[in-house]
Chains A and B, each alone.
Chain A
Amino acid sequence: MAEISSTLLYSAFIIYLFSTLFFAMSISDKKNKDAAHTKKWGKVGFISSCIGFVSQVGYFITRWMASGHAPVSNLFEFTTFFGMMMVLAFIILYAIYRTNGLGVFAMPVALLVIAYASMFPRDISPLIPALQSDWLKIHVTTAALGEGILAISFVSGLIYLIRTVDQSVSSKKTMWLEIILYSLISVVGFIVVSLAFKGAGYQSAFEIMNDQNQPVKIVYEMPVIAGPADGKQLDDSFGPLFSTPSWMNGVNASIKLNTFIWSLLSGVILYGLLRLILRKRISAALQTKVNMNSDLLDEISYRAVAIGFPIFTLGALIFAMIWAQQAWSRFWGWDPKEVWALITFLFYAAYLHLRLSRGWHGEKSAWLCVLGFWIITFNLIAVNLVLVGLHSYA
């Protein structure tokens, strides 16, 4: 069962890849700009996204059967599920607005999320007592669906910015747009480096003291740039170039920091290569490709927030509170993960109120949607990996 499950996930991944291509075909062919062409490839793209989604649902169900609990209990499972919810959100919004351009950007972002997820340990892990509750699956799935829909508002906002920001001069706006694209590219970088070093079987071991002051062995799987705060290298492999500040928490803090640095570095290289090939800003190159109506993009991104906000609130705050009341006897404890869910909620509440006044439609809204997605990913990744609390899976 576990094998069927991985196969289904793998095929979903490949199908999503194809549907991205199909959507790209639908908007890119210059000679063949007639509506029939666009419509045909758009339809193919949409149907293939749906098939991919069904395949991923198959992965979800079979993994559930294999492990005996809903597969949303570690970082790999949760992040994969988040990617799946992004695809679902895209399918819903596509059904309403039928915009192929959205697919060209939404599907790759979902792909990136799923690929990123599969870099975490994929073992089926047992549930500790605190996680043994039906509310776990209800809370996590609803929250992820809400976040998936909000992620589409980011995608749409990003396209809006690519479409409208003036690329004839370099400005703060073009710089920020490049930073956003660079961050996405860094995720690609992370995946590439992880696969490369894993494939080569690279390892470097250190002995460090854990919180109880006992020696433990930690193993890096990438060349060590950031060494542990206070550790002894057990072999003569490369590095470290400097040591991790001691306030970063947990035995694995330095490994995470090291991986992060590698992601940024590989991102720089990939980004640089792209710039060399394109000979202009990446957003400028993309701008020539997209010709969607900017009002429609603004509408889609607002609509995604309008749909996603209540679902997010229900899943990430209300169901979370019910569960916390049962598991920890209090519905709210100001744990960092809880606080960041509240911050997300407040942020989108502010967004909705700002949109009550006209001046905030369009470009400002689009920037806000980007920022909102940053908050969501920060909560998904950084809070688990960096800040301490009850929710740290890792």
Chain B
Amino acid sequence: MMQTITCECGHSNPYGTSLCQACGKPLTQDVEVLSSMRYEGSARRSQTYNKTFVDHVWNFFSSVKVGVWLIVIILVAAAIGTIFPQETFIPPNVDPATHYESEYGTLGLIYYLLGFHNLYGSWWFIILLGMLGLSIIVASLDRGIPLYKALKQQRVTRHDQFMKNQRLFSVSKDVEMEEVKYTLESLRYKVREENGNIFAEKGRFSRWGAYVNHVGLIIFLTGAMLRFFPGMYVDDILWVREGEKASIPGTATDEGQYYLENNEFILEMYDKEEKKFNSALSSVDGEVAKNYQSNVTLYKTKPDHTVGEDPELVKVKDGEIRVNEPFKFDSFALYQTDFKLNEFYKMSFELEEKESGKKFGKLTVDLHDPKQEYDLGNGYKVKIEEYFPNFILDEQNEPSTVNNLPDNPAFVFSMYSPETPKGEKAFVGIQKNIESGENQFKMSFAGIETKDLTALTVRKDHTLWIIALGGLIFMIGVTQGLYWNYRRIWIKQNQDEVWAAAHTNKNWYGLKKDVEFLSNKTSLIPLEEKE
């Protein structure tokens, strides 16, 4: 099985070789030189073995046809994913199961049922990417290694059959070899000589371009997959009110936990009067935002603090966060992502006697942390029986709350006075005041305080440098392979004739210009092209 083939030039080639790796002689009758040139007629595993299961898998993934199909299938799938918005782009509070149908009709329903609304995260899409990666690896190993060996082993003197069958070829007489050598060198070819024969090559490194870029792609894909490993990646959102501190999720270590204080949130709009943008701004309805910015201070706890207790904070640094200008510390970055202006913060009420309009004291409720009882003195007090930060009537028509955000606060108060020691109940919300029976007192609205909030994305990504490295290597590889090419010219003295042949892996136009220049400058007969 593994026997080697020894060529008449004495070189011993591995089983499966079609052109002698040293002199280029076809090793069997039916070998076509030109079409074997892509990989120098070297012994590629996929062209040599076809017996075992492993052989079949290897041959499948090493095929360029399969590779192109994989690329095309991924391309088509990616396109399908853009027909309707992906799940991550639909409004957060709707149910995808009904949203796609109600928004896009039957096609939308089919889209949803086939799982296309979450296409890029689907198992089959990931598997396709995996197969693509595997195919790139197998195809590259299958060709790259033998190709490397072949180019290293090639000799100056080539077999007649090899020369004759090249696409560019000519036979001359009386050629001044020194002149040829000199001209080739002036074209920046690297020239080697052996027994009066010449081998000139240029840009061999470009032959590795495809392999380098494939390595880059594999590193990139690997980096993208590492995301799924714990610890490599943090992605959280942090809401902080102006003037408050919050612990930053994902940043707890033995050395302590980071906290962030929001000193101020700034929203700036473009001035409609500004002359430069006048005509553009006057054609839009609302205002156009100019800047979203949070001014923050970063703190850290002492290393030995215990969770839960009010931690002692040490200031680390101040910073400004804008869109496009994240705030960085350790391996984390905070991004300006969202904001909310004028969130309700404190609400004030007065206890009022309805008939006389007389007031018996004021209370201010912190909407994030309401007290149970507010003592107004002189026997007057108010209890909060129930609190609904974001009031809604649920399906049973019972009062309830959507979430903990005080967007629509409502209360059930009990009001106590010396005249009403048992207490009177009232339901109070924004523009609502409902009593259970006829009350003597009421809670009258006495003002509201608001605050701005900023939302920051907390991100740690240890995969970034791997991905960046992959991208860099890919770019080096494509440039190397596509902006340069590997040109070779052989000149061989055959008795009283001089044979010349030339080959390139691409850009024949450039090679032809080289050999034209060569025959103009020397007595070499112009190389002729055969199809």
Contact = CB atoms under 8 A, between A and B. Distances in A.
Interface of A: 66-68, 97, 121, 123-126, 128-130, 132-133, 216, 247, 296, 299, 303, 306-307, 309-310, 313-314, 318, 321, 325-331, 333-336, 339-340, 342-343, 346-347, 349-350, 353-354, 356-358, 383, 387-389
A132 B482 CA distance: 34
A325 B78 CA distance: 21
A339 B289 contact: no
Interface in B448-465: 457, 459, 464
B276 A68 contact: yes
26 contacts: A66-B276, A125-B280, A126-B276, A126-B281, A128-B288, A128-B289, A129-B291, A129-B322, A296-B509, A299-B509, A306-B506, A310-B478, A310-B479, A313-B474, A321-B471, A326-B325, A340-B79, A343-B75, A343-B78, A346-B72, A346-B75, A349-B71, A350-B75, A356-B38, A388-B85, A389-B89
B49 interface: no
B135 to A, nearest CB: 11
B205 to A, nearest CB: 16
A313 B333 CA distance: 27
B326 interface: yes
A66 to B, nearest CB: 7
A327 B324 contact: yes
Interface in B498-531: 506-509
B64 interface: yes
A123 B324 contact: no
Given A124-B277, A128-B288, A313-B478, A299 B71 contact: no
B283 A327 contact: no
Contacts of A342: 78
A126 B288 contact: yes
A357 B509 CA distance: 18
The binding surface of chain A is classed by DSSP as helix
Given A67-B276, A299-B509, A318-B475, A329 B482 contact: no
Given A124-B280, A130-B324, A299-B509, A334 B71 contact: no
B82 A339 contact: yes
A329 B326 contact: yes
Interface of B: 35, 38, 64, 67-68, 71-72, 74-75, 78-79, 81-82, 85-86, 88-89, 103-105, 108, 120, 235, 270, 274, 276-277, 279-281, 283, 285, 288-292, 322-326, 333, 335-337, 457, 459, 464, 467, 471, 474-475, 478-479, 482-483, 506-509
A95 B322 CA distance: 45
A68 B270 CA distance: 14
A393 to B, nearest CB: 12
Contacts of A346: 71-72, 74-75, 78
Contact of A331 (B64, B82, B467): B467
A303 B507 contact: yes
Nearest to A97: B509
Contacts, number: 132
A318 B471 contact: yes
Contact of A334 (B88, B105, B280, B325): B88
Contacts of B64: 353, 356-357
A309 B104 contact: no
A126 B270 contact: yes
Contacts of A349: 71
A347 B75 contact: yes
Nearest to B471: A318
B82 A309 contact: no
A327 B323 contact: yes
Contacts of B335: 328-329
Nearest to B107: A247
Nearest to B505: A356
Contacts of B506: 306
A309 B482 contact: yes
A327 B459 CA distance: 12
A330 B227 CA distance: 12
Nearest to B292: A129
A76 B333 CA distance: 35
B290 A126 contact: yes
A306 B479 CA distance: 9
Given A126-B270, A331-B467, A353-B67, A388 B277 contact: no
Contacts of B323: 129-130, 132, 327
Contacts of B281: 125-126
Nearest to A357: B64
A334 B103 contact: no
A326 B81 contact: no
B457 A125 contact: no
Nearest to A345: B75
Given A247-B103, A388-B85, A343 B68 contact: no
Contact of B68 (A124, A133, A353, A383): A353
Nearest to B34: A358
A329 B323 CA distance: 10
Contacts of B324: 129-130, 132-133, 326-327
Given A132-B324, A339-B78, A334 B475 contact: no
A335 B104 CA distance: 19
A387 B86 CA distance: 11
B326 A326 contact: yes
A286 B104 CA distance: 44
Contacts of B483: 306-307, 310
A195 to B, nearest CB: 20
A350 B71 contact: yes
Given A128-B289, A318-B471, A334-B86, A353 B464 contact: no
Contact of B283 (A66, A121, A130, A307): A121
A247 to B, nearest CB: 5
Closest 4 CB pairs of A and B: A123-B280, A125-B280, A129-B323, A329-B335
A307 B482 contact: yes
Contacts of B475: 310, 313-314, 318
